[in-house]
Structure 1
């Protein structure tokens, strides 16, 4: 134990002496020791820089993989939660609304198409009925006009026949009157001729009979 204490004391003394000597030497040569210290610091900095360069990109550092995996799991979980609870429901709602709107538009278009077809069918039926009524009216009008024409023609023909009968009657009367006057003139003429020729006396009755037989 005594030798160990002695050795320890000697060592401490030597260290103290060395430290004092070093300090004294450092103070004595302060100006001369600055340059080597700066050089050593620069060398240490370069060594540290080279050491950092050899470490590589931090995410590729295998010592940080566990923490990176933890944060990756947390980020993926948050992303999955946001996608499943916020984004995807909104997208699904938007798609459903769009699908419902498209279905509604298609139904409305189908309804309008049906109404259009019904309107076209009704228009065609009305047009056919109007054409039929027009044909009926034209036919009725033609029949009425034809009946009117026939009636007027019959009336005109009846009038003409009546006038022709009256004319024939008048002509017969004129003819009969003229013939009667001719007979009288012939009778008078014959009587005058007989008297002038001295053929004797002849009655008018005999002369009229003779003229009638001659006119035969």
Structure 2
């Protein structure tokens, strides 16, 4: 192997030192530029992260405001629905009261008509009973009794 040949070792070491020196000087000249680029990139990344964090906080604030507005809207809608239900209930109660009043009036009128019909029927019943009693007495005795006598007999039977 030529690397291990002692006759070529000295020139190889010289070239090694020369190439190493040139590379060292190049790196020494480029290193500040690389550091500067690294710092600029780090600053840009930091600024971007800061902006992203600020945007995230703003988005969270907007979301919280949205949720608060949404809750307020839901509460308002619930209040409107409850008010509408209450108004409908009041309207229904008022209509029901009117219908109940009309029904009670109709019931009272019907009871009055029934009472009148009962009185009329009872009056007719008394007349029919008196007529029937007079007919029975006439058939049994052959003589029709006086109306006053029949009424007195019916009154005595009704009392006792």
Same fold (TM over 0.5): yes
TM-score for the superposition, normalised by structure 2: 0.67
What's the offset of the Cα at 1:186?
3.6
Whether contact under 8 Å (1:190, 1:207) holds in the other structure is yes
What's the offset of the Cα at 1:155?
2.6
Q: Which residue does 1:143 correspond to in 2? A: 86
The answer for unaligned runs of 5 or more in structure 1 is 1-54, 61-67
Q: Which residue does 1:173 correspond to in 2? A: 116
Q: Which residue does 2:3 correspond to in 1? A: none
For the aligned residues, what is the CA RMSD? 3.6
Change beyond 3 A, Cα 1:209–1:159: farther
What's the offset of the Cα at 1:92?
2.4
Change beyond 3 A, Cα 1:182–1:152: same
Q: Among residues 91, 110, 117, which one is paired with 2:34 in the alignment?
A: 91
Change beyond 3 A, Cα 1:177–1:154: same
Change beyond 3 A, Cα 1:91–1:160: same
Find the aligned partners of 1:198 and 1:214 in 2 and give their Cα distance. 19
Larger radius of gyration: 1
Whether contact under 8 Å (1:183, 1:212) holds in the other structure is no
Q: Among residues 50, 64, 74, which one is paired with 1:121 in the alignment?
A: 64
Change beyond 3 A, Cα 1:56–1:179: same
Find the aligned partners of 2:92 and 2:84 in 1 and give their Cα distance. 12
Whether contact under 8 Å (2:134, 2:150) holds in the other structure is yes
TM-score for the superposition, normalised by structure 1: 0.52
The answer for unaligned runs of 5 or more in structure 2 is 1-5
